[in-house]
Each structure stands twice: as C-alpha cells, then as structure tokens.
Amino acid sequence: MWGLRADGRGIPRPGMSVLDGAGERVGEVTSGTFSPTLRTGIALALVDAASGAAAGATLTVDVRGRPSPWRS
C-alpha cells in the first residue's frame, strides 16, 4: 500500500491504473480525493512489490485516459 501525491491536476478514483516510467501497469488506486490542506490530489494505491518501484519514485496514474504524474 503506497500513499501518492499529485504533481499536477487530477483526482484518481478506485480502480484506476498505476503505471511505472515505462508505461507498464504496476498497481491500482484503492482510494483518492482532493486534499484541501495540501491543495492537491492524494491517493492510496496497491503497488506490486516485484515491480521494482522504490519509495520516492515518480509514478503515473491513468486519470480518465490522461497520464498524470504522482510522487510516492
């Protein structure tokens, strides 16, 4: 389970794909919303441990067909 914070616009919803830098699916969003305190989108996602993604990595969430960069 990873916490993600948006680098841009977009609010993920459950079931949206989490992609690595190569565009491969490495996980799925379990919940997401807009944080009024942080003034950006936040999410929780299940990320495959075998994907090689490390804490602090930049991942991409497919938000309604648009790739959106996220930090872990």
Which DSSP string corresponds to 20-63?
-TTS-EEEEEEEEEEETTTTEEEEEEEE-GGG---TT-EEEEEE
Q: Give the fold, CATH level 3, of 1-45.
A: Elongation Factor Tu (Ef-tu); domain 3 (2.40.30)
Domain boundaries, the chain: 1-45
Q: Rounded mean pLDDT of 66-70? A: 81
Is 0.85 surpassed by the pTM of this model?
no
Residue 30 pLDDT level (bands cut at 50, 70, 90) = very high
Q: Is the pLDDT of residue 55 over 80?
A: no
Tens of pLDDT, residue by residue over 3-24, are 999 887 778 889 999 988 888 8
DSSP 9: S
- Per the structure block, which two tokens stand in for 71? 């930090």
Mean pLDDT of all residues in 31-43: 92
